[in-house]
Amino acid sequence: MEFRLIDRIRERTAQERDDVPLGIGDDAALLAVPAGMQLAVAIDTMVEGVHFLPGTAPADIGWKVLAVNLSDLAAMGAAPAWALLALTLPVGIEAAARAAFVDGFAEGFAALAKPQQLALVGGDTTGGPLSISVAVHGFVPPGQALLRSGARPGDAVMVTGTLGDGAAGLQVMREDRGDSADPAIAHLLSRMRRPTPRLAAGLALRGRARACIDVSDGLLADLGHICECSGVGAELDAALLPRSPALVEVFGDLAARDFALAGGDDYELCFTLPMDQVDAVRAELDALGCGATRIGCIVEGSEVRVRGEDGAWLALASRGWDHFGA
């Protein structure tokens, strides 16, 4: 049964690459890193009830578990190449239901993988609580990887896209407001279920951004990682936070601000760069379709602070997602 499940996944995700001499089928894959490239590797795990709600469509799970990993490569300025998949499926369910889940999962995974020419080169299936781990591998020229440690006082802080939609979409589902006939709610749900990893933006930021991270746990938390690694602080302007019209329509201005600051699950890029490059980078990312917004600046110190519309510093109840609830 296990090998047939693997076959079903392989059939739906097949992707030929010259740098994969041997893919799925043996005890290990054989892979060739192109000359003059470094290998960037990232791994993420998603667990039912923690990272996605029970009853989530298998295709959406397949898309998102790959998207969150590709977002890590985007934040490093790496071009995706290969993936490994470990799929833990509930025991005790009928074979037909298990096969239907795998088919849907693989179709969602492939819908994102194939346009990126990403090859699934191996993995494992086992029984237990529903969870999925994906490891992705990408290439970046030596010295061009985007790191968290290069931000400098005076840099602009920028983000791609809009913030808060992903967490707002999850809130919509938790409140059982998932009426997809409402265009605003449908937008939030789509952003939560199928986020877009900003791979092209990450490549464009090579040699431009001084520091970069993807927004997965919330803007304040993730920008805080940049500040910690760089030995700096940051000051943000709440009025500049890019928020979608759908987010404001469904939740209002104040809640939209809080989602944008601490919601997470957006997988946009937050990066810093010299102020004199802001306009050029914004124009380039506009041309790529994701855009970029300057939301603040890097300063001396270690704290990430947010200035409200009235000019006073905000006292914030949440700074982002904590995986262990501490």
Of 63, 77, 239, which Cα lies nearest the Cα of 145? 77
pLDDT digits (tens, 9 = 90+) for 203-218: 999 999 999 999 999 9
What crossing angle do the helices spanning 2-13 and 95-113 adopt, rounded to 10°?
30
Whether the Cβ atoms of residue 42 and residue 73 lie closer than 8 Å to each other = yes
pTM tops 0.85: yes
As given in the structure block, the two tokens for residue 28 are 């290990």
**According to the model, what pLDDT value does residue 5 have?**
64
pLDDT digits (tens, 9 = 90+) for 148-186: 999 999 999 999 999 999 999 999 988 887 666 889 999
Instruction: Write down the architecture of domain 156-307 according to CATH.
Output: Alpha-Beta Complex (3.90)
Contact partners, residue 258, CB within 8 Å, separation at least 6:
164, 316, 317, 318
**According to the model, what pLDDT value does residue 162 have?**
98
Break the chain into its structural domains and give their ranges. 2-140, 156-307
Decide yes or no: CATH 3.40.50.920 for domain 2-140.
no
pLDDT digits (tens, 9 = 90+) for 62-113: 999 999 999 999 999 999 999 999 999 988 788 888 889 999 999 999 999 9
Q: Is residue 35 classed exposed, middle or buried when 0-12, 13-18 and 19+ CB atoms within 10 A define those classes?
A: exposed
